[in-house]
Structure 1
Amino acid sequence: MKYILLVFALMITLSASAQTNSLFNNSKQAQFWVDSVYQRLSDNQRIAQLFWIAIENTNNSKVQAQNEDLISRVQPGGVLFFKSTQDEVRELIHLFQGVSSVPLMVAIDGEWGLGMRIKDGLSFPYQMTLGAIQNDSLLYKMGYEIGCQMKDMGINVNMAPVVDVNYNPNNPVIGKRSFGEDPLNVAQKSWAYAKGLQDAGIIAVAKHFPGHGDTNKDSHLTLPVISHSKERLDSIELVPFQYVIDKGIKGVMTAHLAVTSLEENKNLPSSLSKNIVTNLLKEQMEFHGLVITDAMNMKGVSDYAGVGQNELLALLAGNDIIEFSPDIEKSITVVKQALLTGKLPRKLLEEKCKKALLAKYECGLKSNEITEIDLAKAGYLKKQLYKEAITVIKNEADIPFKNLEELNLSVVCFENKEEWKANFRRYLDVKIIDGTKESFIREDQSTKLLLLPNIKTYKKYKTQYDKYLSSNNCILVFQGNQYKLADIENFDQANSIILTYENNTITRDWVNQLIFGAIPATGKLPVSISDKYKVGCGIDLQSLGRLSYTQPEALQLNSSYINTKVDSVVNAGLTMKAFPGCRVFVAIDGKVIFNKCYGYHTYDSIKAIQADDVYDLASVTKISGPLPLIMKGVDGGLIDLDQPFSAYWPDWQKKLFHPSNKEGLSFREVLTHQAALTPYINYYPFTLKDGEYRKRYYDDHFSEKYSLQIDDHLYLKTSFKKKIYKAIRKSPLLDEHKYKYSGLSFMIYPELLSNLFHQDYEQYLYSEFFKPLGASSLRYNPLTKVDITRIVPTEMDNNFRHKLSKGRVHDEAAAVMGGISGNAGLFASADDLAKLMQMYLQRGEYGGRRYLSEEVVEEFRKVQFRGNENRRGVGFDKPIFGNDTLTIEQSYPAPGVSPESFGHSGFTGTFVWMDPKYNMLYIFLSNRVHPTRDNRLLYQKNIRPSIQQVFYDAIKQAN
């Protein structure tokens, strides 16, 4: 059904005896239905159509039986649901509609969505939070989504939006329910929300007319007095109401207020004032939709003339619908008597009843239309609203943080410590201070302190907060009602101030991303906090382009489809014990849309996989360790890929008494596995005899002579590296130069690169790439820097180290290099590995910094020897030729990847792949070698490409 949202100037005929302006459907079918229903109603039933009753205690069968009986006897016009559940509401709507001769109008107070009244319904941000958003189209989408959810429930009317201008910070009843103090901002956002509701088929109700925003009393408890002049009301309070009326809102709720400039009787509530409801709202402001009272049991009106008389006065004042009468049967009796005596004109009753019926017809109460609800899409919209609201009002600390290698950040938490730690670890492993336990310690001048208060924790730990706040370089993230920020003494001492308006997992996630430059900041204050920070204040911050964390709906992809498919593949792998656990990480367009942990560290199912767990990357080290430095060398002119490798590694040069068969091999050939090198040499057996460690090679203490750590209290002779280099030099070449994977050269790169850059390989790699990327866990030999509980174990090594490998490199060749090799040895979490890979995907740039030139990255990631049937790039793996024509069993990797894509796999069960065509990064981390490398089900069952293919299929589905 298509709903008409324009205000008609033309009078539409409802019957021969009554006419009225209306915002509702003016078709002949509508008129026929209204007239036919009206004619068969008794006077009592016609009056009852003007009353909506409250439905509470929905889980109490006795109460609901009473409600059923009341509806059956009285036949009210509608019901208004309060605290309940979705199932209860659905069941009761079906029950109540079944006993009503005229379809019931079903209403709810859903200012921030179903969740305001329905326990298991979705809640969106408060209107004050939304008031900070600069993109009103998001509010339209929210209104439409809320409308669809309500329509799906069988609800027809939403008592929203609140269009009150909250001019009083001490307002006890509006506050966060308002869009703010700027009348135009309130007006525009109110209409965006209302239009979304109405386009979804829900009647939107603007409240609380003529404006409840500048009171210091609650009309639920007393009659608030508004003493402003008519000129002031016209310039502030009435602006949003006139705006939404002109745009075509279909409902307005009248408030219980004493408005002295509009009504001479100082004790008469505005809801009962003809001057306010009829003369002002309906005639001067030309509103022709449904006028609905606020709840008539509120103290602001209930004490005026008593039950029944109040309801009669409300109808005579111009209201069409009476909400929540304390005694509907008594009220109907009083109104009926007024009808019989002529105090209530019959024409007026007819007009109101037919308007109510016409509104019901428009809502499609007789239709069976089904609304499709996508909760994942709604959840994404909710997250977007919170993100767009975040407001930066001061920024002397220069956020977002740019040079992470120089950042000394301590985060002071008074609650949600573990959650904050996990969020920050995605970008940087920062120091977390538990403010509830630790005494204030002054950090050095370079330290930035991040305070994360809400007003509750501030009041509880005020002394601690004040000490931290007065220190240098303090960044204040206030999580709560913006008015309360002023309650924090000297809050302006902070170098930077960020407001999230609400405190929940979504806002905590977004502010973390904002601080590190993954998302921009565009919010503006919806109200004034102080003379310095007034309404409209807000500093725009640009994103630095770091990975942001969101969900598939950010790219119009379907979460349900992706989750179902990936879960199916992974769970099948877990069931067949292809691996004890894994992490799947996918980013598209720099947005992490899938980031899920499965299973456990080991098959005993004791420690579940966590997001910050660290894995042995195995051969993914090849493109994570030596390759970025090699690329940097090419970028700086230190390496020419077409020069002989021996020019950079003299050990391969042929000399007297120093034979070499590798002198002429080019650097390009070596890196593309085109150099006919032997695939692999097993070095560690040289150091054993009958399975025991040979004393000439090992010592149980570190020294200059024994510096290659193999395990706890086990060190290999430093000079053993020379034996490795010699074995590589003397290894035979294969018969022809064609693609044959070889890891030999990667054993050499750490020393080669150290010599080339005159820097220690490991330290230079960290300083040039890992530290500025914020990749805290991406490192060799992580046991000294990473909590061992985060490290996922690999194989039970029964051949070399005779123990479970955990935190020591699994690969034996890398192990005899002291764990620092180019072929293996790096460990990382998925988040940290992703930063480096995303830099490759973004052609050498990440987080606002250029690490490598676009030209070099492009060169390395393209096929080099296509004519020789070699698919490899320079260091990177590539899809097999004709991959898109193959099945999942035949392809490598998934058949959906583009020919431009590139990546690498690792023996321990790791895999990374980047696809420039789709701007997609796919990471799969597992320990499939636990407890034995003989387990090859991960490969045999094509688990990794099957997961990868899901995302390509999801993209096709979306297109």
Structure 2
Amino acid sequence: MTSLSLEEKLGQLFVVGFDGKKVPKEMKQFITDYHIGGIILFARNIGTPEEVLALTTELQQIAYEANQAYPLLICVDQENGIVRRIGEGTTILPGAMATAATGDVRNAFELGVICGEELKALGINWNLAPVLDVNNNRDNPVIGVRSFGEKPEQVAAFGKETMKGLQKAGMVTTLKHFPGHGDTNVDSHLGMPQIEHSLERLEQIELLPFKECIQAGADTVMSAHIHFPALEPNEEIPATLSKNVITGLLREKLGFNGVVTTDCLEMDAIAKTVGTEQGAVAAIKAGIDVVMISHRLEKQKGAMDEIKKALANGEIREAQIDAAYDRIIELKKKYTSWEQLDLASEQSVSKIVGSKEHEEKALNVYQKSVTLEKGEAQLPLQKEQKRLVIEPQNTILTKAEDKQYAHSALGLAIREYATNADVISLPISLEQLVQAVAPYEQVIIGLVSASIDEAQVKVVQTLIDLGKSVIVVAMRSPYDINALPNEIDVYLNTYELSYPALSTAAAILFGELEPVGKAPVTVKKAFI
């Protein structure tokens, strides 16, 4: 073992977050005094690419001056699609379900490489992706299009290639959310979901992608704040805090020897049950290596203090800290060094981040992803026809998303091809809607998860009742078609609000592109 003190080793087990585009004085002191080994960034920390690089450089300088043996692990949730932290000036990349809709795993690999190259150029060395949850529950409020689909083999294949692409670019990767968050109808940011499947069923579906990606060389695995009765008899203990799940299943049965991290311990499934600080103790006892506390400094310090108390009273053995520390250092040795960091900081961000080559490759994938579920005979639309575009209300649906990326530009995309299109946005009253659509025979409407929003469905029904030709662009949930009246003329899935996806949808509507995407989930509705 190393001659480091227990406190120096313990600090490496923490990933913490903070507000702002510069390191607050208190966080600088915390990293230095507590030997913190990992940082998580959110959109609150992100500005221009140059600002991001300045922030990550500042963070590493703090660790270097504190004599840490290896650079910080700086992580981010860059799943792409609806969950992305890095935006301005970077390449917009398709998310998981859009990528899977292309049917070609080579796209997953290439997007992984692009994502990894851009993150690394910004000084970020750890991506909390790919998502390996099998989305076999259409009512899932938090996964949905973050998943590669409903078939475990498909999720495994696309997840594995995404992982390999990120790794090729020098990025630490994370398989999440173990042992599977796909078949839930509760968001673990807001409560503790429960999945009641038998172990046999879990092995056939939920666990299959994790097994395959672990065998393919996974770096880290993130636990889910979900209770699995087949794995853990105590209904108050989610997977994150369960020794049966983390040590018994993940370590011993699946043979994973890499780093295991919690999801954020400030999520309600932990914070409002056992509590963030005691959750950190329970996680370490369960076999977790990395404790992630993303927001409040008092919670971060409190968790550190509680772990120290548990060590002092014998509740946690020092050997557990040593084992976790060794796994984390092995990961750092593989992916980081102060020498490589110096070289990376000299790279020109402008040559890599948001490059023309990356944008062209990403657009090529988007153009293969958009899915036409109904209305082939109605296309192409006539560019000269006077029509109205109705954009959905800008919104986020889960706490995993960022507000600044939840905006629609469907009208702008349609106007690329039909310059005389008029545009309005929801929400509007029924009276205003009737008045607004009166001059038009055709309406193109963008929907964001209308399957769980009766107000959007009511707007579509009103348009049908008024005798309008209705073209639907489902800009998130592919399941919206099942909530809509049969009389809609055209239905397209883009799987996300990203502008390249909307531009592709517009190109398909006006005959500039052929629709070739195939939904990776069952969305079929029998139209009469």
Q: Does the alignment reach a TM-score above 0.5?
A: yes
- Residue 249 (str. 1) matches residue 249 (str. 2): no
What residue is the counterpart of 1:240 in the other structure? 209
- Residue 499 (str. 1) matches residue 493 (str. 2): yes
Query: Which of 463, 466, 470 lines up with 2:464 in the alignment?
Result: 466
What does 1:139-538 align with in structure 2 at a 5 Å threshold? Answer: 139-324=108-293, 327-366=299-338, 367=340, 368-370=342-344, 373=352, 375=354, 376-395=356-375, 397=377, 399=379, 411-415=387-391, 420-424=414-418, 437-439=436-438, 451-455=444-448, 458=456, 461-462=459-460, 464-467=462-465, 476-488=472-484, 490=485, 492-530=486-524, 532=526
Question: Is the 1:263–1:273 contact (alpha carbons within 8 Å) kept by the matching residues of 2?
Answer: yes
Query: Which of 14, 30, 36 lines up with 1:70 in the alignment?
Result: 30
What residue is the counterpart of 1:870 in the other structure? none
Question: Is the 2:226–2:238 contact (alpha carbons within 8 Å) kept by the matching residues of 1?
Answer: yes
Question: Is the 1:79–1:106 contact (alpha carbons within 8 Å) kept by the matching residues of 2?
Answer: yes
- State the shift of 1:459 in Å: 5.0
SS at match of 1:389: coil
Question: Is the 1:50–1:356 contact (alpha carbons within 8 Å) kept by the matching residues of 2?
Answer: yes
Question: Is the 1:470–1:494 contact (alpha carbons within 8 Å) kept by the matching residues of 2?
Answer: no
The C-alpha deviation readout for 1:9-29, integer Å capped at 9, x for no partner, is xxxxxx6xxxxxxxxxxxxxx
Please give the alpha-carbon distance, in whole angstroms, between the structure 2 residues aligned to 1:306 and 1:422.
Answer: 51
Please give the alpha-carbon distance, in whole angstroms, between the structure 2 residues aligned to 1:147 and 1:513.
Answer: 29
Question: Is the 1:114–1:121 contact (alpha carbons within 8 Å) kept by the matching residues of 2?
Answer: no
Amino acid at match of 1:66: E
The C-alpha deviation readout for 1:503-522, integer Å capped at 9, x for no partner, is 45423432333245443322
Please give the alpha-carbon distance, in whole angstroms, between the structure 2 residues aligned to 1:257 and 1:463.
Answer: 37
What residue is the counterpart of 1:637 in the other structure? none
Question: Is the 1:390–1:523 contact (alpha carbons within 8 Å) kept by the matching residues of 2?
Answer: yes
Question: Is the 2:81–2:498 contact (alpha carbons within 8 Å) kept by the matching residues of 1?
Answer: no
Please give the alpha-carbon distance, in whole angstroms, between the structure 2 residues aligned to 1:45 and 1:431.
Answer: 62
Question: Is the 1:409–1:450 contact (alpha carbons within 8 Å) kept by the matching residues of 2?
Answer: no
Distance 1:239 1:467, change over 3 A: same
Please give the alpha-carbon distance, in whole angstroms, between the structure 2 residues aligned to 1:418 and 1:80.
Answer: 34
Please give the alpha-carbon distance, in whole angstroms, between the structure 2 residues aligned to 1:484 and 1:439.
Answer: 25
Distance 1:441 1:313, change over 3 A: closer
Identity of aligned residues (%): 30
Distance 1:528 1:112, change over 3 A: same
Question: Is the 2:386–2:440 contact (alpha carbons within 8 Å) kept by the matching residues of 1?
Answer: no
Question: Is the 1:50–1:352 contact (alpha carbons within 8 Å) kept by the matching residues of 2?
Answer: yes
- State the shift of 1:231 in Å: 1.9
Amino acid at match of 1:332: M
- Residue 104 (str. 1) matches residue 72 (str. 2): yes
SS at match of 1:282: helix
- State the shift of 1:319 in Å: 1.0
Distance 1:201 1:467, change over 3 A: same
SS at match of 2:343: coil
- State the shift of 1:54 in Å: 1.1
Please give the alpha-carbon distance, in whole angstroms, between the structure 1 residues aligned to 2:112 and 2:131.
Answer: 13
- State the shift of 1:320 in Å: 1.0
Distance 1:330 1:504, change over 3 A: closer
Please give the alpha-carbon distance, in whole angstroms, between the structure 2 residues aligned to 1:95 and 1:408.
Answer: 54
The C-alpha deviation readout for 1:900-943, integer Å capped at 9, x for no partner, is xxxxxxxxxxxxxxxxxxxxxxxxxxxxxxxxxxxxxxxxxxxx
What residue is the counterpart of 2:55 in the other structure? 92
Distance 1:71 1:162, change over 3 A: same
SS at match of 1:225: coil
- State the shift of 1:385 in Å: 2.5
Question: Is the 1:170–1:216 contact (alpha carbons within 8 Å) kept by the matching residues of 2?
Answer: yes
SS at match of 1:201: coil
Question: Is the 2:77–2:83 contact (alpha carbons within 8 Å) kept by the matching residues of 1?
Answer: no
Please give the alpha-carbon distance, in whole angstroms, between the structure 2 residues aligned to 1:503 and 1:329.
Answer: 38
- State the shift of 1:374 in Å: 5.1
The C-alpha deviation readout for 1:77-133, integer Å capped at 9, x for no partner, is 111112222444333332332232212111111111898224525342332322312
Please give the alpha-carbon distance, in whole angstroms, between the structure 1 residues aligned to 2:457 and 2:81.
Answer: 31
The normalised TM-score by structure 1 is 0.46
Amino acid at match of 2:308: K
Question: Is the 1:388–1:523 contact (alpha carbons within 8 Å) kept by the matching residues of 2?
Answer: yes
The structure with the larger Rg is: 1
Question: Is the 1:157–1:204 contact (alpha carbons within 8 Å) kept by the matching residues of 2?
Answer: yes
Question: Is the 1:296–1:323 contact (alpha carbons within 8 Å) kept by the matching residues of 2?
Answer: yes
Amino acid at match of 2:210: F
Please give the alpha-carbon distance, in whole angstroms, between the structure 1 residues aligned to 2:413 and 2:183.
Answer: 38
Q: Which has the higher contact order (CA 8 A, sep 6+)?
A: 2
Extract unaligned runs of 5+ from structure 2: 392-409, 425-432
Question: Is the 2:82–2:146 contact (alpha carbons within 8 Å) kept by the matching residues of 1?
Answer: no
Distance 1:485 1:272, change over 3 A: same
- State the shift of 1:76 in Å: 0.9
Distance 1:365 1:283, change over 3 A: same
- State the shift of 1:300 in Å: 0.9
Amino acid at match of 1:259: F
- State the shift of 1:138 in Å: 1.5
SS at match of 2:285: helix
Please give the alpha-carbon distance, in whole angstroms, between the structure 1 residues aligned to 2:440 and 2:263.
Answer: 54
Please give the alpha-carbon distance, in whole angstroms, between the structure 1 residues aligned to 2:81 and 2:133.
Answer: 18
Amino acid at match of 1:219: S
Distance 1:397 1:207, change over 3 A: same
The C-alpha deviation readout for 1:694-741, integer Å capped at 9, x for no partner, is xxxxxxxxxxxxxxxxxxxxxxxxxxxxxxxxxxxxxxxxxxxxxxxx
What is the RMSD of the two structures over their aligned residues, measured on CA atoms?
Answer: 3.1
Extract unaligned runs of 5+ from structure 1: 1-14, 16-37, 443-448, 534-959
Amino acid at match of 1:188: A
Amino acid at match of 2:250: L
- State the shift of 1:266 in Å: 0.9
Distance 1:392 1:70, change over 3 A: same
The C-alpha deviation readout for 1:544-590, integer Å capped at 9, x for no partner, is xxxxxxxxxxxxxxxxxxxxxxxxxxxxxxxxxxxxxxxxxxxxxxx
Distance 1:349 1:197, change over 3 A: same
Distance 1:304 1:433, change over 3 A: closer
Q: Which of the two has greater helix per residue?
A: 2
Question: Is the 1:179–1:185 contact (alpha carbons within 8 Å) kept by the matching residues of 2?
Answer: yes
Amino acid at match of 1:414: I
Amino acid at match of 2:483: D
Amino acid at match of 2:389: C
Structure 1 runs of 4+ with >6 Å offset: 430-436
What does 1:765-780 align with in structure 2 at a 5 Å threshold? Answer: none
Question: Is the 1:410–1:450 contact (alpha carbons within 8 Å) kept by the matching residues of 2?
Answer: no
Please give the alpha-carbon distance, in whole angstroms, between the structure 2 residues aligned to 1:437 and 1:499.
Answer: 25
The C-alpha deviation readout for 1:162-189, integer Å capped at 9, x for no partner, is 1111222222222232222222222211
Please give the alpha-carbon distance, in whole angstroms, between the structure 1 residues aligned to 2:476 and 2:203.
Answer: 31
Query: Which of 45, 48, 72 lines up with 2:8 in the alignment?
Result: 45
